[in-house]
Amino acid sequence: MFRDNAVRLAIAPIAWTNDDMPELGGGNTFEQCISEMALAGYEGSEVGNKYPRSPELLHRALELRGLSIASAWFSAFLTVRPYEETAEAFLAHRDFLHEMGAKVIVVSEQGRSIQGQMDTPLFAHKPVFTEADWAALAAGLSGLGRLAAEKGMTLVYHHHMGTGVQTAAEIARLMELTDPNEVSLLYDTGHLAFSGENPLEVLREHLPRIKHVHLKDIRPEVVQRVKAENLSFLQAVKAGAFTVPGDGCIAFGEIFAELAASPYTGWFVVEAEQDPALADPLEYAIKARRYIRENSGL
């Protein structure tokens, strides 16, 4: 289905150790995480909170297991802080990822975000950007995109639950406000479905801008509970709103077919933050790997 070597498959460490809630998977080590990724049949990883930040040490640990770094999350604060503050932190992040051989840099605007607030209802208090916020975000991302290009890298924007760029309309507005040569899009199936959007429609609308893909599923009964009980994003994660492809309700067949027929090259990253005490990371990594092989040929 996919062209030879056009797409590589990675998995995020958040299934083993959660950056936002370190108590989830607190006892899981970095070595266990990457060893189980390799055992489950993945080629790559994103960067988690237990990964060494020395490129030399990280390279060695990954090479022993046949893994590469696909990318890593970066929190921008372009709507609430001076651009220079975000740019300084971005440069250090960019240079680390460049040393690790990554080609894309995942960026999400955390100004006004509620995704990290344990008790703030996810849907009732979703942030909405002002015109000034949109202007600051677009200009700032364009600047960061130019900094990424200095190293031959691409900025991919991560739409995310609990932020000002969550819905299909908000994604479309950000794409309209930014230059395709400076800002690309990370396409996340799970966040779109959680938000109530149609992932396939969003894929078709923005396919030329998509340079990184997160494969994530949702459990619709948990999402309904999140809405009914006014739960926060972190509470939703702990309740099991997310799961791996093939274990939820998203129909990935058409998504895979659309991507296979497109010029897309790069990484597919399985990313499903769950409580590892309830969802064994290796078991779910294997489940996702098998499902993707059976439904995409990868």
- Tell me how far apart the alpha carbons of residues 203 and 230 are, in angstroms, rounded to a whole number: 29
The residue-averaged pLDDT of 104-125 equals 98
Average pLDDT of the chain to the nearest whole number: 97
- Tell me how far apart the alpha carbons of residues 16 and 9 are, in angstroms, rounded to a whole number: 17
Among 236, 237, 193, 200, residue whose Cα is nearest residue 217: 193
What digits encode the pLDDT tens for the residues 142-185? Answer: 999 999 999 999 999 999 999 999 999 999 999 999 999 999 99
What digits encode the pLDDT tens for the residues 227-272? Answer: 999 999 999 999 999 999 999 999 999 999 999 999 999 999 999 9
Cβ-based neighbours of 142, under 8 Å, separated by 6 or more: 178, 179, 182, 183
The residue-averaged pLDDT of 193-209 equals 98
What does the pLDDT read at residue 5? 86
CA angle, 225 then 292 then 45, to 5°: 85
Burial class of 132 by CB neighbour count within 10 A (0 to 12, 13 to 18, 19+): exposed
Token pair belonging to 135: 């202007």
What digits encode the pLDDT tens for the residues 32-88? Answer: 999 999 999 999 999 999 999 999 999 999 999 999 999 999 999 999 999 999 999
Cβ neighbours, 10 Å, residue 34: 25
- Positions of E strands within 77-219: 104-109, 154-158, 184-188, 210-215, 217-218
Distances (CA, A) of 122 to 113, 194, 260, 273: 10, 11, 34, 16
Token pair belonging to 285: 């990594």
What does the pLDDT read at residue 1? 75
